[in-house]
Each structure stands twice: as C-alpha cells, then as structure tokens.
Amino acid sequence: MKRYSGLLVAGLLATSLPVNAAFQSVQTDVKTAGVTLTGGSVSFTATVKNKSNNQTATSITWTGVTPGSTAWAEADQYIEMASVVSLSNGFIRTYTDNTATTASPRYTGPNNSSATPAGLVNGTNTTSVQPLAWSIQDALTGGRPNGVGDPNNSTQYYYWFYYTDIAQVTFNNPTVQTYNTVVGPGNAIHFAQGGGSFPDPAQFGAAASPNYMFFEANFTGALGGTQYQTNKLTLEAYTI
Amino acid sequence: MMHQRTNNILLSSFALGSPSFSGALEGRLLRRLAKALVFLFGITWMAPTARALNVAPAWTEMWVQPGAEQVIRLTATNEGTQNVKVSMSTKEGIGTQTGGDLTVDKWITLKEPLEFVVKPGETHEVKAVVKCPQDSPAPQLSAMVSFSSRGSKESTVTSMISLPVYAFVMGLAKAEGTITEIMPFHLKDRLAVGMKVKNTGTIHLRVKGRGDVKDKKGTVIQHFELPPSVPVFASQERGYGVQMDWPEALKPGRYTIEAHLEAGDYKLEGVQGFVVKKNKEIVVDKKK
C-alpha cells in the first residue's frame, strides 16, 4: 500500500474500491505558530480534526465523491484554529504552494491570469487542479447555512473563499491578500466575502477562539481512479 | 543596538553590519542607517511538544544605495525544551512595488545553511545579504523571510511565520506625507483621537509618535502615545487612533491637540483646535 503523509487529499478510485483506501495516517497534526510584541501578539494553533467525532485526525480527506456527479463537496475534516491576533499589524493567511520543489504532486500546468496552481493537484496529470476553498466559522455547526458551493456565487456561498496559490501571478495584489486572510487584527475572523482592501479588510468579525476552518473542493470534471491532493496547504502568521 | 521587552520575552538586539558605501555618501548614509532598522517585537514559534522559537527582528526597514550590499541578521532562539529544526526561505513581500522582473531572489539572499537545528537555550543567527540592483525600478523593495519548523515527519498543514524586510532605494525613495485630519471625540467617557495621514511620497510610512492636549494657556493636560502599527502605503491615506480615560482637567472650554508623528527620519506635525461642551460633546474647529 502506498504511504502518504501530510496531505490534503481526495481519492477518486474505481467504484469497487473504497475511496481513500490508499491513505494511511502517520502523524497527529498539531501546528502552532506565534508572534509576540509589546501591546499584542499573533499566534495560532491549527489542529486537524474529524467532523464525525471531533477527534484529532492526520489528513484532510474527501469521501463519497462520485466521478461525474459530485461537484462541490466538503472535506471530512476541519481545522480547529486557536488564535490570538491582538496586534494591529498582524494577520494569519492561508494558501497552497503547489509549485514548490517539495510539493507532491507538483503542479506543472500553466500559471497565468486564467489558470493557477491553487487547489488539489491531479496526481496523474499534474497540469490540472481541482478548485479548493476554505471557510472559517465561529462554531462547528450552523455557520454554513447554504452548505457547499461555488464561492463565486457570493450571494449564496459568501462564506467560502477560493484557495489562492503563492505562485499565482496575482498573489501579492492587495485584493488577493484580503481574500486569503483568515484572521485579522482583533482576532477577527474572515466570515464573509466582500468589501475592504488590504490591510483593512471588511467582513471580519471578532470571534472568541477557537474557530473552525472548513474545506470544500469542486470535483466537476474529476476522473475516477485519480488522486487529487496537495501537501502544501499553508497557514502563515505574519506582520507587515 | 536596540532592544525591547515583549510579553515575557526579551528580544534579541543587534545592529546592522557595516555598510560599504562611497566616501561622499558615507556619513549621511550611516546616519540614516543608524535608524534604519526598527526591531519592535519578537516572533515566537511554538511547536506542540514544548518547543518554542523566538525570532527577531519582526520587521526590518532599511535604506539601500543602488549597487551596494548590506548584511542583515535575524536570530532564532529556542526557548523550549526540545530541538527545533528550522527551514528558512524568502518570498515576495506585501506591498511590493517592484517592477519588471525584479523578483525577491534578485535582491535578497539568505546565507547558508537554510536548514538548521536550534537546541534548547541556544540562538542561531541567520544572515541575509541585501543588494539593491543598480537599476532598481522601484523606490521600495519588499520581501518576507520565513521560518518554518520542520519535524521528522511531514504534516498536513505547513505552518510558518514570516518577517517583512523593506529596502528603501536611495535616489528613488521619498518619505513624505501630511497629517490631513486630527479628530478628537467623546467615546463612552473616554477621549479618542483619530489622526489621518496621507502618504505623498514613494515609500510606505510606518507612523508613530505622540501628542498633547493643551488648554488655552498652553498647559499640557493630557499626553498620548501612538505606537507603530500598519504602515500607510505610498499614495494612500490611513487613519490611526488612540483612546484614553477622559482627562479630569478636560472641562468645558477651548483646547488644542498637537500631534508629533514620525516615520523614520521624516516628521509630521499637526494641530487641531476644539471646544468641549458641558455634556462633553466635542466640537472641532473648522479652521486649524
């Protein structure tokens, strides 16, 4: 059995095989990072947990994905995000880094204004990705009233954000920086899209820690028997 | 040398290495460089099993001469009880105003080793060489230096902390701005003062400073400090605010606020008159 570790992964295998059968847990994943200074701090602890039992998990996976019919689907795990952002110039953001030399699989497709490395990389054809999105909520339930769907449908799915990739050409644009910011000053979580320009994003609201990050991916066009994954899901605390 | 105590952490302190500049500029440049770095806070990495890495400086701002090379130093101190394996990298900074193909790897280079282990109680110094291109297309170069902790196994999420490095290019960089508005107001029995700064230069201004509330005799009845925070980017305007307990001496009458702000060597001054009414309502003079 092939051994994977540290992956955000979706398996679309032949229907006779259980989905995700190829993935094996190797490590409990708790990641912590922090910034401290006079008058404030930025820190976070990210713990992957199962939605089914809220127990610590080792990977973020999707099950029940049917090639040809499943579109947007939510992952079986979430990240419990314990954070403190009391600095006025401190932020936490998330992105993928799918062109890194250590990315596996490593995205090799186009990177331009219309195609980016962001998402779950096709393990067979590394020139393509399936779109990936995140959402942060202050509770495990009730925060996503309309379920999963296209973040571009901002009327219905305003609480989802497409993943960006650090290599994409627009990554450093202020609007992109706002978009990929998960937590901002005042420990305000990015609960909805819309408004504001970095570093003054709108649609942030103070929320007591911990908060919860959820993940969805669009499997439209995904192929059976193919693994889509990234081992480069990044959470980054930083200041400006 | 600069240092500052943080919450339970005494930050590392160090100065820039000697820059190598031409004689005519040397004195001026050294004076500027003496104020080039601002080490304001530390960054703490805490891995789950009692590992903690304190890195500094949290941000670096420096003036650079096109074609010249400078060395900056960052430190990582293990304040935990277990070894921490650290991996270093650089990336484009936020607010980058570079042009053309001037990517971060062309002006800032981390010296080897890029991966190292910091033992408990020890400090590891990382050097970065900043070399401003002779033909820099932008007045401000922005980078991030990232520290990521790498255990012996892969993990689902890559966590990292990134420190910004800003290089202001001499000859192109211009620090300039104005205080466009000073707005005192009564906020739930507190005195709040908002100050709006417009950046009319070519580099960001990380504003900090102080202010005084004076009565009509010129006596200071309240002093306040504005700590540095988010910079105001070139061509943008940003509001900063402070709050304080309502001063006992702030009775009905006429007053003046004097704001003395600075961003590096650049000074910004502002004055605003106002009247406090019996109900503590504040009416700002239309004319400063």
pLDDT value at residue A15: 32
CA distance A87 to chain B (A): 8
Q: Is B86:B78 a contact under the CB 8 Å cutoff?
A: no
CA–CA distances in Å: residue B84 to residues A115, A221, A230, B45, B228: 37, 42, 25, 10, 31
Give Dmax (Cα) for chain A.
Answer: 58
Q: How far is A90 from chain B (nearest CA, A)?
A: 9
Residues of B in contact with A103 (CB under 8 A): none
Q: Which of A23, A24, A38, A99 to mutate to test the interface with B (most CBs of B within 10 A)?
A: A38
Q: What is the dihedral of CA B263, B265, B266, B267, to 10 degrees?
A: 90
Of A32, A37, A177, the CB nearest to B94: A177
Beta partners for B118? B84
Residues in B closer than 8 angstroms to A5, CB to CB, are 153-155
In Å, how far is B102's CA from the nearest CA of chain A?
A: 14
Interface contact A206, partner B, CB < 8 A? no
What does the pLDDT read at residue A109? 97
pLDDT at B75: 85
Residue B11 pLDDT exceeds 60: no
Say if residue A180 is exposed, middle or buried (CB neighbours under 10 Å; 0-12, 13-18, 19+): buried
Non-local (6+) Cβ contacts of B105 within 8 A are B90
Q: What is the mean pLDDT of residues B11-33?
A: 25
* Six token digits for residue B111: 């010296």
Inter-chain CB proximity B155 and A31 less than 8 Å: yes
pLDDT score for A8: 63
Q: In what order do the strands lie in the sheet with B190-199?
A: B177-187, B190-199, B237-245
Do residues B258 and B271 lie in contact, with contact meaning Cβ atoms separated by under 8 Å? yes
Tokens of A66: 């049917």
Q: How far apart are alpha carbons A235 and A44 in whole angstroms?
A: 9
What is the least distance, in Å, from the CA of A79 to any CA of chain B?
A: 9
How confident is the model over B70-95, as a mean pLDDT?
86
DSSP alpha helices (H): ranges in chain A? 174-179
Hunting for tokens 């995700």 — which residue is that? Answer: A20
pLDDT string in tens for chain A (240-residue length) = 333 334 566 544 333 232 222 222 223 334 444 444 444 567 788 889 999 999 998 889 999 888 889 999 999 999 999 988 887 888 899 999 999 998 999 999 999 988 999 999 999 999 999 999 999 999 998 888 899 999 999 999 999 999 999 999 888 877 788 889 999 988 999 999 987 777 777 788 989 999 999 999 999 999 888 899 998 999 998 888
| Contact across the interface for A240 and B48, Cβ inside 8 Å | no
Q: Is B100 on the interface with A (CB under 8 A)?
A: no
% of chain B residues with pLDDT over 90: 58
More confident residue, B32 or A63: A63
Instruction: Write down the pLDDT at residue A51.
Output: 95
Question: For residue A10, what pLDDT is reported?
Answer: 58
Give the pLDDT band of residue B150 (cuts 50, 70, 90).
low
Q: Is A32 on the interface with B (CB under 8 A)?
A: yes
Question: Who among A27, A39, A239 is closest to B155 (CB)?
Answer: A27
> Is residue B138 within 8 Å of B111, Cβ to Cβ?
no
Q: Which residues of chain B neighbour A172 with C-beta distances below 8 Å?
A: 92-94, 96
In this structure, the strands spanning B108-110 and B69-78 are unpaired
The answer to whether the beta carbons of residues B270 and B259 sit under 8 Å apart is yes
Spell out which residues of chain A touch residue B44, defining contact as CB-CB under 8 Å. 34-36, 41, 43
B235-247 burial, b if ≥16 CB within 10 A, otherwise e? ebebebebeeebe
Its pTM stands at: 0.80
Tell me which residue has tokens 């990929």: A180
* pLDDT(B85) > 50: yes
Between A and B, how many CB-CB pairs are < 8 A?
145
CA angle B123, B128, B129 (to 5 degrees): 150
Q: What is the pLDDT of residue B175?
A: 96
- The ipTM assigned to this model is 0.80
What pLDDT is attached to residue B184? 97
Q: Please state, for a pLDDT cut of 70, what percent of chain B lies above it.
A: 77
Pick from B157, B162, B229: CB nearest A89? B229
Is the pLDDT score of B147 beyond 50? Answer: yes
Whether residue B31 is predicted with pLDDT greater than 60 in this model: the reply is no
Calpha distance B111→A125 (Å, rounded): 36
- CB contacts, 8 Å: B230 with chain A: 88-89, 199, 240
- Residues of chain B with Cβ-Cβ distance to A37 below 8 Å are 4, 6-7, 40-42, 58
**Which of these ranges, A8-17, B149-158, B243-252, B277-286, has the smallest mean pLDDT?**
A8-17
B98 pLDDT tier (thresholds 50, 70, 90): low
Q: How confident is the model at residue A55, as a pLDDT?
A: 95
Instruction: Average the pLDDT over B107-119 and give the result.
Output: 94
Taking the C-alpha atoms of residue B167 and residue B16, their distance in angstroms, rounded to an integer, is 13
Task: In whole angstroms, give the CA distance from residue B267 to residue B212.
Answer: 16
**Which positions in chain A touch B160 (Cβ < 8 Å)?**
33, 234-237
The three-state secondary structure class of A15 is coil
Ranking A236-240, B44-48, B107-111, B233-237 by mean pLDDT, the lowest is: B44-48
